[in-house]
Structures are given as C-alpha cells and as structure tokens.
A and B are shown apart, each in its own frame.
Chain A
C-alpha cells in the first residue's frame, strides 16, 4: 500500500505540490490526469525518492520513504518506474539493459539474470530482439524494453510517467496493450497519462490534478464520464 499524506514540494519559489493526500491499495490502478505542470510527474518522482519532499509523508508498505534512516536504494526495488523518454541505456543490448539491475542490485548470477531478461523481453513481445541495441529499436519497442527492465526487478508497484507521450500515434497501442496485460495480472500501478480512454478502461480510480492539488478523485468511469467539478469538466472537454 502506498500512503501519501499532506505532501508539499517546491522547486525554489515554485510550489509544485501543495498538500497531496492519496492512498493506493495493492492491486489497484490509479491514473493521474491533468494539465502539464500540475505536479503529477513530480509526485511520481517523490514516491520513489528520486526527488525529495518539503513536508508531509509518503509511506510504502509501512516504510517512510523520506525518513533519513530509510535505505532508498533498497526501497526503489519495490517501485519500478518508467519514463516518458524511455531512457534505455544506449550502450547495452536489450538483454543487457534488462539483466543489469538484477545482476548488480540483486546479485543474481549472470546466467540466471540473462534467462530472466529473456523471459521478460518475451513477455513484452521483444523475445527476438535480445541482442539489439536501443538505437536499433523503434520508440514503442524501446518503451516496452523499459517496461521489461522494470519488471525484471519484480517490483510490487509500477510508476508510469506519461509512458506513451513521446511515441508516434501508431506505436501507442502496443505499449498500452502491454500495460493492460499487467493490470489484468494484478500489478499495482500509478500512471500519469493523457490517454483518457485508456484510463477509463484500465484504471480503478482517476485523480485530476490542478495547480498542485488533487482537484477531484473518483472511480475511473464515473469521474471521466460524469465529472463533478467545473475545472475537471473543462479539462476533459478540451482533451476528449
């Protein structure tokens, strides 16, 4: 379970998060929607401690993420994160990309890590691309590589930061299909997304961010089909 309590975060004088409260249960899929700059992506980075917070608390499975005594490297193994810009490691093959963290972080013997990488790449449909370098893969394939890389660490949660925003429209579908499959397997996910139809279909709940606060939150279909707040209506009206 991820519990986010009264989280505030500023970059200099710019207040990005102004008191976020959100609890995500195991097995739940929560989509964060809202205009750019409303703080959605920053919240994801705060959840796995890639960014610090100014006040409040984020608790993952009972562990206070930002407490000084917390081993954040260890904690991040639970929390897979996937970015908008894929961030495949360009100097490593697909298989090496996936096997690296199991080898170095979990100390899995190379042979097992490679088998693990093959298995996860096959799962996202890249079983025949093991020895390709990222530069030889399409955007959609690179993003699926990033998903396989995160899954190889067997995380309990996945944080998805606009994972389809940098893709050509015809490549969006293949990545969303992969995520759909994960949701059906019961993976807990917090996804920042602009794919409203995807959110409506896959998410259990949707949270609408506006100016650093959660302006409205509710069951996915209800919130998207029938938003209550004026600002939510305007946003969805513009985007759909």
Chain B
C-alpha cells in the first residue's frame, strides 16, 4: 500500500463516517458539525486529485457559507430541533434499502466499465490548471454561457432569498 492509498483510505473513512453521522444523529447542530467534517474530508479529496482550487473553494463555500447558514437556520428554528419523537420518518428502512440497492447497482455498473481501473496519469507539464480553468470559464469558445447563467442564477437566488424570508410588517 502506498502513502497515497493510505491517505485516501483515512480521509475516505473520516468523510463517510461523518456523512453517516449527518444522516443519523438526532441533534441537528451536531449533524451540521459532522457535515462540516465530512465536507472537509471532501476538500482533502480534491487536494488528492490535484485540484487545489477546489479544495479552498470547498472550504470557502461549503464550510464558510453553506454550513454556517445551516447552523443559523437551525438556531432560528430551534424549537423544532429539540422536538421529541423520532428524527426519521416511518419509511426510513425503505430509504436505507433503496440507498443500499443504488450503491450496489452503481458499483456493479462501474465495475463492468472498461475505464474503471484507469491509473493516475501524469498531469501535463508546465500548465497552471487554475489559469486554464479561469480562461476556460470566460472564453467564448469555453464555458462563458454557463458561467454567466450561473451568475444570473446566483443573483436570482440572492433576491429570491430576501423576498421569501422577508418578514412583512402588517
């Protein structure tokens, strides 16, 4: 086992363990903190895949914005978070079964694909992937239209969130 594999396994176990805690733990604040651990593990995965830009963006967006917003929302709706009773609905075992079936099906499907065992190729020499990504996102022959649509979507979400959560004084 190489060092790379060892790191991968440790990070994968931490991430998946965190994810399992997210969907099972009762206290929602704890679930959010487990989610942060899990997201951090995913950030390390991006690092392992030599995408450092995604590592930091993951921490900025998911941990710095999304997880903190969730903690805020949980605190604002706190009476519910501490409500007695089951935290899962009646059909939880069906959900679990379905997830298991889907996982088995996915793994089986992947394993029949010829590219499943592709080994790590060398990154092209002398290319700054961040520079390439930045150029691709804004160049007309690249992804400028999805990029602009994403910006419009973000603006729409910003305005929409304000409108929806606005407390109208009657």
The answer on A and B forming one complex is no
Task: Give chain B's interface residues, CB within 8 Å of chain A.
Answer: none
Q: Which positions in A face B, CB cutoff 8 Å?
A: none
